[in-house]
Amino acid sequence: MDQQNKKCLIAYFSHAGMNYASGKIVDLPVGNTQRAAEMICRFTGGDLFHIRTAAVYPYDYQEVVKIAKKEKADNARPALEKDIANLDDYDVIFLGYPNWCGTMPMVLWTFLENHDFSGKTIYPFCTHEGSGVGHSLEDIHALCPQIKLGKSLALLGTTIEDAEDDIRRWIRDVADA
């Protein structure tokens, strides 16, 4: 992806461990959103940044769900393990996350509020198990009204292994926009 020589960043949050997939709990050594982010990186040549919380989420799915619901209800801003220092270097940001509680995990609020995204284009990509992007696009726009919000991509986590063609098509579409 050249995007007229624009430098792109793939910033994402992903949860490895026990996850919900196709109606059951499965063990994912690498989270679905991370797998999608790595494909985007491979196809665009962009830089990867894994958004991580300072307090690591539990391995157990039910525990993560409890924490995610509490963070959402409390409008929490979980601390980042580390932040990206050079966001100004990027014009285009592919922003990835799983759908938690109908939107992005609250750590994305932390990440988005920590930076000035004025003049940048954000292309959201979301992994889910049937709920799509939820209201995350509205939330991103509310947090960063000064951005250009580009076309999003919702990926069914259960089929992430077969998502390469969808991701390539999406990247081609946004590059042509």
Instruction: Decide if pLDDT at 129 tops 70.
Output: yes
pLDDT at 98 over 70: yes
Residue ranges covered by each domain of the chain: 8-176
Rounded-to-integer distance, Cα 18 and Cα 27, Å: 5
Q: Is the pLDDT of residue 75 over 90?
A: yes
8-66 pLDDT per residue, tens: 999 999 999 999 888 899 999 999 999 999 999 999 999 999 999 999 999 999 999 99
CATH superfamily of domain region 8-176: Flavodoxin domain (3.40.50.360)
**Could you read off the pLDDT of 3-12 as tens digits, one per residue?**
556 899 999 9
| Predicted local distance difference test score (pLDDT) of residue 22 | 83
- What is the average per-residue pLDDT within 134-160? 96
* Statement: residue 1 has pLDDT above 50: no
